[in-house]
Amino acid sequence: MDVHYLPVGHPGPQWSDRGQLLALEPQQAAPMRCVGFSRLGSVHAGAVFTLWLQLRGTSWVEAKEGRFRLRGGDWIAFERDSRPALQADRHGVCIGLSLSADALRAISRLADCVFYAGRGRATRSEARTALRLWRDASRRLSTQEPGAGGAAAETSALWPLLLHLTGMQRELAARVERCPGRSRNRKRQVFGRLQRSLMYLEGHCDRMVRITELAELTSFSSWYFSKTFHALFDESPQAAAARLRLEHAAELLRTTSMMIGEVASASGFDNPCSFSRAFRARFGMSASHYRSAVELPTRQVIRHAA
């Protein structure tokens, strides 16, 4: 695999394709940079904030928060210490933006523009607009001399893209006011920590996650974490973990031929009986009936096409 390190201070776009590995290291990075990867290309991010939008195909992600799968239209954002590693499948195309600590501060000073770690879905229109703005920003950054104007000049070049990406995170930003704190900055800090804990549950939906793990991740006490998590997300951490594990099990039933017991084990259930009860309570039917209900329309479509 080819490894490509970025030139020091280079602000232009960087792309990894056909098995190449792009390593984003902050000491080699411009404050803001447009990046992307495709067709088995991969990216390893250093201590920079990154946001990714999957345009086509599938990508796999491994970060401090766990493992994730991106499909067309999915977006995901990581904090600076997450250090995600991403790789596209044979048909995958993913674009992204990396922001250093200096860049994040410059953005917040210029306007009330804040990014959060998290996951979400972009509409087809939002994805097309993001791609167009990403290309425009890449061209503008390419014409700048390395280091010319600093983060302020790069912020100006990326401003339409930055506004669009923060707009895609509007559902996250709407929850900030529900967090405790006397100032908006404190509310944002609390929200960012809790958002990462939710991502941690999503990234580890193949096992049981202890409250102490989440409390340690957020630097809160277990009591304060549980209370604030419930107030923000309208469910306890335990309920969120169970829901995500069952949703993961349902996805495995839809997309794989794994046996029911294997699905239960892959979703963090040691006891098949407890998995069966929990699945029926969540979806109103047994796991086997759920799989049959999903497979039946597919068989009907194939028979009709034949």
pLDDT digits (tens, 9 = 90+) for 59-112: 999 999 999 999 999 999 999 999 999 999 999 999 999 998 888 888 887 766
- pLDDT of amino acid 28: 52
- pLDDT of amino acid 141: 83
pLDDT mean over 273-293: 95
* Other Cβ atoms closer than 10 A to 273: 9
- pLDDT of amino acid 155: 79
Lowest-confidence segment of 169-173, 177-181, 233-237, 291-295 by average pLDDT: 291-295
Quick one: 149 and 50 in the same domain? yes
pLDDT over 70 (residue 284): yes
Give the DSSP per-residue string, 43-88.
EEE-SSEEEEEEEESEEEEEETTEEEEEETTEEEEE-TTT--EEEE
Q: Give the integer Cα–Cα distance in Å for 134 and 140.
A: 10
Quick one: 206 and 64 in the same domain? no
Q: How many CA atoms are closer than 13 Å to the CA of 77, on its beta-carbon side?
A: 21
What percent of the chain is modeled with pLDDT above 70? 86
Residue where a domain terminates, one of 190, 215, 234: 234
Place of tokens 């309208």: 234
pLDDT over 70 (residue 2): no
Nearest to 22 by CA among 117, 86, 68: 86
Q: How confident is the model at residue 294 (pLDDT cuts 50, 70, 90)?
A: confident
* Other Cβ atoms closer than 10 A to 130: 22
* Helix, strand, coil shares, percent, the chain, to 5: 50, 20, 30
Residue where a domain terminates, one of 234, 259, 281: 234
Quick one: 142 and 259 in the same domain? no
- pLDDT of amino acid 26: 60
What are the φ/ψ torsions at residue 189 (nearest 5 degrees)? -65, -45
Quick one: 114 and 255 in the same domain? no
Quick one: 21 and 155 in the same domain? yes
- pLDDT of amino acid 82: 96
pLDDT mean over 123-143: 93
Quick one: 217 and 83 in the same domain? no
pLDDT over 80 (residue 124): yes
Domain at 46, CATH number = 2.60.120.280
- pLDDT of amino acid 60: 98
Number of structural domains (the chain) is: 3
pLDDT mean over 186-198: 95
- pLDDT of amino acid 103: 86
- pLDDT of amino acid 143: 80
- pLDDT of amino acid 302: 37
Quick one: 220 and 126 in the same domain? no
- Model-level pTM? 0.88
- pLDDT of amino acid 24: 84
Contact 197, 205 (CB under 8 A): no
Domain at 265, CATH number = 1.10.10.60
Q: How confident is the model at residue 183 (pLDDT cuts 50, 70, 90)?
A: very high
pLDDT mean over 200-205: 97
Q: What is the pLDDT of residues 22-38, one digit of tens each?
A: 988 765 556 888 999 99
Residue where a domain terminates, one of 174, 193, 219: 174
| Structural domain boundaries enclosing 191 | 179-234
Quick one: 132 and 31 in the same domain? yes
Q: What burial letters (b/e) apply to 224-246, b meaning 16+ CB within 10 Å? A: ebbebbeebbeeebeebbbebbb
Quick one: 24 and 103 in the same domain? yes
Quick one: 199 and 276 in the same domain? no
Quick one: 101 and 17 in the same domain? yes
Quick one: 105 and 13 in the same domain? yes
